[in-house]
Structure 1
Amino acid sequence: MQTYSTDNHLKPVQQAERIKTVDMIRGFALLGILLMNIPGFGINWDAWHRIMTGPENTKDYYTFAAIATFFEGTMRGLFSMLFGAGMILFTLNKKDTATGPTVTEYYYRRLLWLVLFGVFNAFVLLWFGDILFYYGMCGMMLYAFRNTNPKWLLVLGFVCMGVTMLKQQLNWNETTEKRKAYNEAIAVSKTGKQLSAEQQAAKDEWLEMEKRRKPDTTITNRNLRTMQSGYITIYQYWIPKNADGETWGLYHQWFWDGLTMMFIGMALFGWGFFSNKLSTSTYGMWLLVGYGIGIPISWFVFRGSLEDARNIGLYADRYYVNHTLLYDVRRILLSLGHASLLMVIFRSNIVPWLMRALANVGQLAFTNYLMQSIICTWFFYGYGFGWYNKLAFYELYYVVFAVWIFQLIFSSIWLKYFRFGPFEWLWRSLTYWQMQPMKR
């Protein structure tokens, strides 16, 4: 790796060139992602089923309902939007040099390293919910659209959302067809007639599906024992699961999920939404629209998911369209609401110290994201402090608040002395194949 040279025109964005509002919203999204990830780090798999099918007057339920309604998917949505915007920022004002790699080569080198960092997060840090791998893969599609008109980027985002909705509905159609065949088999059996082989198979298939939706004690206990074990045991446990998630998951879910929000983020950046170029009244309007429509839809989707979890049979009998079909609609609206609220607060100058702190977190987003994996795996997993499944669901968020405070303070102090976070520095140095200047 070469040492840093100021003669190279292709280099990272400098401090003076950064857009504070982009960093601020990214910091907010980065912290918010931990709201969704913390159950995966700290509690056994059967917790979700227990909360969703249990009483609705517990601290766990209230916490779960609030997180699911206001934040589910929206933090990842904002982060994905800003990833799309970041792609444009990376290529903005960069020109190919007479010698050396082109902008295109730097761009794809950057994403290939991101994919490898995702593999590192999943297979070394042992976080099964890694998103860096998916972002790197999705990001490779974006470069061809870097100069596309924002209105067409928005159309592309909605097309990708439409693909996701179509896949969801087709899957739900399969479920309702299986339920219909089961109901027909039950109706025949009630008449005293013997079921045909096809009808018996339909009945057995539905009952097996219902069984799979309930926690399997053997599997959940094995997961609990494993997560309370040493590093090697957990590592071997997650190899097949991570490998499956980063192949099957990318193909069936995360590719379209990521592209939807990335294209929309690119469009919004093109219109100046994230760079503080719109009027305060425009941000206020999107705040009202995002929350005014998004929150009721989100509550509707949440209540539908409870019905689904409690009795899939009755749910399939009642609905020909699954509530999750509105998942992307609600998270786009809520993401816009969250971002608009931040912009209004930023412009009002009510808590400038908090906005600066969030911007610092956002500037170190890559480091802070991997830091969350390091902190939480060591706090919860057996090779660390061993707190896995020892906290109630609502108590997990005490850990979230502690990590937030630490990262807000850490980011502010770090940036007083250094240009980049440690992982940002490594990523940039690998991308440009030059040692970047670290100290201010």
Structure 2
Amino acid sequence: MATLPERIGTLDTIRGVAVLGILLLNIVAFAMPQTAYMNPRAYGGWHGADLAAYLINFVLFDGKMRGLFSFLFGASMLMVIERAELSGQSPARVHFSRMIWLLIFGLIHLWLIWWGDILTLYAMVGMIAWAFRNKDAHSLIGHGILLLCFQWLLMILMPIGMHATELAAARPDATADARHGLEQLQQGFGVPSAQWIAGQLALMRGGYWGILSDRLANNITTPLNSLLFVGAETLAYMLFGMAALKSGFLTGAWERRRYWRWVAVGFGIGVPVYAALGAWMVAQQFSMMSVAIAVMAASVPVRSVMIVGWAALIILALRPGGALTQRLAAAGRMAFSNYLGTSLICTTLFYGYGFGWFGYWSRAQIYGVVLAVWVLILLWSKPWLEHFRYGPLEWLWRSLARRQWQPMRGGALSATQKVATDTQ
């Protein structure tokens, strides 16, 4: 019977880079009021080193690491389905059981730990992606491009609606609803009022029950909102990941010059466009409209090619057997545990029920925390997998999805060699 490899090293390593890279953006959402994620003028500083930190992230990492993670999710999901088929299991049962349990984990993460969860979105979009599992690589890419076109049109409507709201709120006879709508937009993309910022600081520096109550009041519908708002883009990236697996791109099977070509295309297009958008936002002093256009709308067409460029660059940089490569691969193999572990660490550091650092550090300063968490992830992942087959949450997810406790001890390498056809 044909078999698939238990692990593909390039996928694990790229996933490891992605799970580390996501923290470059998420750290702002952990450490500051939500608006600071989009607009540096909202909080955390927007001059000097703080401005440089924002622009470097915007040009090189914002949306790219999340997209890279989505690529890898789609590829891994397809591998699980194919392994299930080859081993005689029901691929539908295996896939949907995994997605349902991922959704449950995501809801726990979203409601009890941190508002910025992405697992619920992946679970829901992953269920939709099932319908594309048998498409060839070209068809997957075609469907992905159509989805990105839809996402782009959706994002273009945002600044148009924003402009209409600004006009309505500026009228002498503006209604309370119009003024409230403008305030909400400012809280998302502009510079919120000092009163709102003070309220956010007091909330997040307070106790767990106050934060939990606010989260349950404001984030119950977040999964559905995320699906409607960025579901098309996320599905597109998953389809691209499936196509990249089927074409041999993600397995490292291409010639090196083909990978270099994609590095040149991805960064050659993406960096100039993002740099121009960043310069325009600076010139506009990060007005609410400029942020909405640059961050949400104008970047959609170029983000995907830059994600592919990142994947190609990582594959080219891999050194099989190298110390850093092994540690990145281990971090990627335990991406679920590391992602949720990062949330537990950062909420403990920044929220009031922990160290209470929320809002006290500038944008540039918080990257010291990022470096510390990176070191921790790289230090613990490989030794853990030398003694256990899976990361702790990977083991729990696998056991619940299979409705049977899975063997844990033995070391990941020995388990990989022993169970070559096992599903993930």
- TM interval, shorter chain, is 0.7 to 0.9
| Comparing 285-294 and 209-218, the one that deviates more | 209-218
1:403 is paired with a residue whose SS is helix
Identity of aligned residues (%): 33
Does residue 413 (structure 1) correspond to residue 383 (structure 2)? The answer is: yes
Aligned residue number for residue 160 of structure 1: 147
Does residue 345 (structure 1) correspond to residue 317 (structure 2)? The answer is: yes
Deviations 1:4-61 (A, max 9, x none): xxxxx9xxx99x6200000000000001011110011112346464547998641111
Q: Counterpart of 1:341 in structure 2: which amino acid?
A: L
Aligned residue number for residue 6 of structure 1: none
Aligned residue number for residue 335 of structure 1: 307
Q: TM-score, normalised by structure 1?
A: 0.84
Aligned residue number for residue 344 of structure 2: 374
Aligned residue number for residue 54 of structure 2: 64
Q: For the pair shown, which has the larger CA radius of gyration, 1 or 2? A: 1
Aligned residue number for residue 241 of structure 1: 218
Q: Counterpart of 1:227 in structure 2: which amino acid?
A: M
Give, in whole Å, the separation in 2 of the partners of 1:280 and 1:96.
Answer: 31
Aligned residue number for residue 417 of structure 2: none
* 1:203, distance to aligned residue in structure 2 (A): 13
* 1:336, distance to aligned residue in structure 2 (A): 1.4
Deviations 1:84-142 (A, max 9, x none): 101111012323888xx722112101100000000111112x21110000000000011
Give, in whole Å, the separation in 2 of the partners of 1:138 and 1:230.
Answer: 34
Aligned residue number for residue 92 of structure 2: 104
Give, in whole Å, the separation in 2 of the partners of 1:29 and 1:131.
Answer: 13
**Contact kept? 2:205, 2:356, Cα under 8 Å:** yes
Give, in whole Å, the separation in 2 of the partners of 1:76 and 1:387.
Answer: 25
Does residue 223 (structure 1) correspond to residue 195 (structure 2)? The answer is: no
Give, in whole Å, the separation in 2 of the partners of 1:30 and 1:96.
Answer: 29
Aligned residue number for residue 268 of structure 2: 292
| Comparing 364-373 and 45-54, the one that deviates more | 45-54
Does residue 278 (structure 1) correspond to residue 254 (structure 2)? The answer is: yes
**Contact kept? 1:69, 1:299, Cα under 8 Å:** yes
* 1:205, distance to aligned residue in structure 2 (A): 4.7
Matches within 5 A, 1:231-270: 231-251=208-228, 253-270=229-246
1:118 to 93, 101, 106: 106
Q: Counterpart of 2:246 in structure 1: which amino acid?
A: G
Unaligned runs of 5+ in 1: 1-8, 186-198
Unaligned runs of 5+ in 2: 411-424
* 1:326, distance to aligned residue in structure 2 (A): 3.0
Aligned residue number for residue 433 of structure 1: 403
* 1:381, distance to aligned residue in structure 2 (A): 0.9
Q: Counterpart of 2:241 in structure 1: which amino acid?
A: G
Give, in whole Å, the separation in 1 of the partners of 2:86 and 2:136.
Answer: 23
Deviations 1:226-283 (A, max 9, x none): 11111111111111222132222322x1311211211111111111111111010111
Q: Counterpart of 2:23 in structure 1: which amino acid?
A: L
1:209 to 167, 182, 197: 182
1:74 to 43, 64, 70: 64
2:352 is paired with a residue whose SS is coil
2:123 to 127, 130, 136: 136
1:384 is paired with a residue whose SS is coil
CA 225–279 in structure 1, closer or farther in 2 if over 3 Å, else same: same
* 1:180, distance to aligned residue in structure 2 (A): 7.3
Q: Counterpart of 1:117 in structure 2: which amino acid?
A: F
Q: Counterpart of 2:371 in structure 1: which amino acid?
A: F
2:318 is paired with a residue whose SS is helix
2:217 is paired with a residue whose SS is helix
Q: Counterpart of 2:308 in structure 1: which amino acid?
A: L
2:221 is paired with a residue whose SS is helix
Give, in whole Å, the separation in 2 of the partners of 1:278 and 1:376.
Answer: 39
